[in-house]
A and B are shown apart, each in its own frame.
Chain A
Amino acid sequence: MPAALELKAVHKSFGKTAIINGVDLAIEKGERHAVIGPNGAGKSTLFNLISGRFAVTSGSILLNGEPITGLQPQQINHRGLARSFQITNIFPKLSVFENLRCAVLWSLGYKYSFWQRVGGLKDVRERADELVGMIGLQKRRDTVAGVLSYAEQRALEIGITIGGGADVILLDEPTAGMSNTETADAVALIRNVTVGKTLVMVEHDMSVVFGLADRISVLVYGQVIATGTPQEIRGNKAVQEAYLGAEVE
């Protein structure tokens, strides 16, 4: 069985600056995988490459064994990969419900239809309302997303990401900027919505990483210096030197 997501010798440079320096990574189906590393290591760039926001300079990326290198973001999305953003990226003028409706339309096969009334599509409504419930925003269902609190917007961001039913989910710092209780809620939400899916996330909060991840990759200066279970990473000398020592007591 092919890996859910596989990166082979991926490089990315902006001008003369190399940001990603030959990353090889294989993530199994159903795995929860965290990518950690110091600021500027290239974690977000890596996500942008996988999701098609940026083009790779060289190397290849495979989704369920199929190459997706060079595809447009929406094409990659159609092949079953969805992502969230570090800086909240929602539809601010639409309501929570409408945001989630946008997220489910494609996957339910309505595409660019201009002959069906969206309000009459029962499956769309039910799926979007189910998502509203999953992210716990029932009371905010018809509120314009732009006025939600930060934590609520982050939850909506996750809801939009999983809405399309993709089986590979990339979350970019889902708990960044949250208080402790908000973080705990977010972790529970992530755990809940990614059951049976493959999850790759970038995260700075080590309690979240070690609580959620099955395996961890450490990215330093655009290279994966170690990949392994949380225990292996904890015990890895190179990782401790490069990164962990300072942040985990």
Chain B
Amino acid sequence: MSAMFPWRRLLVWSATAAVMIVAPLVFTQGFAVSMLSQMGIAIIFALSYNMLLGQTGMLSFGHAVYFGLGAFFAAHALNAIGANTLGWPVSLLPLIGGAAGLVFGVIFGYITTKHSGTPFAMISLGIAEMVAACSLMFPSFFGGEGGISTDRVVGKAVMGIDFGPSIQVYYLIAAWCFVCMIAMFALTQTPLGRMANAVRDNPERARFVGYNPTRVRFLMLSLAGFFAGVAGALEVINFELITAERLGTVASGNVLLMAFIGGIGHFYGPIIGAVLVTFLQSALSNYTQAWLLYFGLFFLVMILFAPGGIASLLTLHKPAVQTRTLGRLLLPYAGAAAAAAVLMLGLVALVEMLYHLETKAEQVGTVMSLFGRQMDTATAQPWIVAAGILVVGGVLLAFVARFVRSGWAHVTVAVNRAKGI
């Protein structure tokens, strides 16, 4: 077994870099660069979260603490740079955020990593609540309700780069994102990274081959705190504002959703999750007030039917591609997608009408426009129609599921034949 040069890996990383460089040139709408920047930050954050959940088996409900504290320290550092009391290049500000994340990772990690599993989850939540509650007590550091605002255009421009235009900020974030991705991937390939997997799968056995699971968890949490802090500092550069909301439990829950939806079992899963969730959140929140509900339902459906996330759905289809039987699945999938679309149409109509009735009816009346139609939410007709569509969609989906199953049976036969069984 000679260590071959990893051409494949080099290719994947080069392609990733190319996508990150080209993306803002392709998506030129005004909001696109801002969204891409947010995606870059979310990718770092979600990957750092997965160092805990996916790689070490630690379910944390408080990871935003490290992101947020890193961000606050970075914001104060940036203000100090602006006031000329600190000489530090803005492009290296993430190191300050990372250091803060690391320090708090060490402190809280010491307390929490003696536990694992469910107790760890609860304690991480308690720590997060504690930090969130503290943030209201110390307004000079956390800036109270308004947060800490700052200005990223400080100091002299280096080669014409002063981080004024958002495109410059994007490329700074992209560069940091790329470096962090490589660093976090490299970490999975080290003795600590491999033992983290071992501790995740069987902490007791890890003890008997010489490793202290508590120490492994502690180191992983501290390092994850570093990367979360880097992401937090980038957030400060991007928005020039940081509020205590960003270290709260909602933010912690959000990064958990990203990692989980993307797939915690694969290194690239959280990247998919970060991109998708960031996109959905800003796209959906523009159109509907109920987006959190849709989002929650999406999450629940994923847990029930695809607990490995999107990444595992992709790998699931690898054998079908290899045996050239993917075609057998396409038609059933198209049918299922159509049925699911009908189901969602009914669901969305019901939810949107409810929201309208509850929140807007008093100001603008009970008539609303939905999918280009006017309907009066005070009458029974639209409700009956929407409920009808929902039921029809459900029945259709149950019907189509049969074809998906038979399609998969076909794939399984082909795969077994290829294996020679």
Contacts and interface: CB of A to CB of B under 8 A. Distances in A.
Answer whether A and B touch in the complex at a CB cut-off of 8 Å. Answer: yes
Given A111-B191, A114-B223, A102 B198 contact: yes
B332 interface: no
B208 A119 contact: no
A122 to B, nearest CB: 9
Report the 10 A-B pairs with minimum CB-CB distance, sorted nearest first.
A106-B210, A114-B192, A73-B207, A110-B191, A77-B210, A113-B191, A114-B190, A102-B198, A103-B209, A91-B201
A161 B208 CA distance: 8
A51 B208 contact: yes
Given A77-B207, A93-B201, A160-B205, A118 B186 contact: no
A163 interface: yes
A142 to B, nearest CB: 10
B349 interface: no
B194 A101 contact: yes
A74 B205 CA distance: 10
Interface string A59-91: 000000000000011100110001101000111
Interface stretch (B141-149, B212-220, B267-275): B212-220
| Interface size range of chain A in the complex | 35 or more
B207 A72 contact: yes
Contacts of B204: 53, 89
27 contacts: A72-B212, A73-B207, A74-B211, A77-B210, A82-B209, A83-B208, A85-B205, A89-B204, A90-B202, A91-B201, A92-B202, A94-B197, A101-B194, A102-B195, A105-B194, A105-B210, A106-B210, A111-B191, A112-B191, A112-B216, A113-B190, A114-B191, A114-B192, A117-B186, A118-B189, A118-B194, A164-B209
Contacts of B206: 102
A107 interface: yes
B1 interface: yes
Contacts of A91: 197-198, 201-202, 205
B306 to A, nearest CB: 18
Interface in B203-242: 204-212, 215-216, 219, 223
Contacts of B351: none
B331 to A, nearest CB: 32
Nearest to A88: B205
Contacts of B158: none
A147 to B, nearest CB: 13
B202 A119 contact: no
| Interface size range of chain B in the complex | 20 to 34
A232 to B, nearest CB: 32
A51 B208 CA distance: 8
A110 B216 CA distance: 13
Interface in B165-199: 186-187, 189-195, 197-198
Nearest to A114: B192
Nearest to A103: B209
Interface string A35-70: 000000000000000010100000000000000000
Contact of A106 (B189, B211, B223): B211
A152 B189 CA distance: 26
A74 B208 CA distance: 6
B210 A74 contact: yes
A105 B209 CA distance: 9
* Main SS class of interface, B: helix
Contacts of B197: 91, 93-94, 98
| Chain B CB within 10 A, most for which of A73, A102, A117, A160 | A102
Interface string B2-13: 010000000000
A84 B207 CA distance: 12
Nearest to A89: B205
Given A73-B208, A117-B190, 18 more contacts: A74-B207, A74-B212, A77-B208, A85-B205, A90-B205, A98-B197, A102-B198, A105-B211, A111-B191, A112-B191, A112-B211, A112-B215, A114-B187, A114-B219, A118-B190, A121-B191, A161-B208, A163-B209
B209 A115 contact: no
B210 A115 contact: no
A75 to B, nearest CB: 8
A92 to B, nearest CB: 6
Contacts of B202: 89-92
A17 B293 CA distance: 54
A69 to B, nearest CB: 17
B413 to A, nearest CB: 20
Nearest to B186: A117
Contacts of B216: 112
| Chain B CB within 10 A, most for which of A73, A93, A111, A116 | A73
Contacts of A234: none
Interface string A147-181: 00000000000001101100000000000000000
B160 to A, nearest CB: 36
A28 interface: no
| Chain A CB within 10 A, most for which of B201, B208, B216 | B208
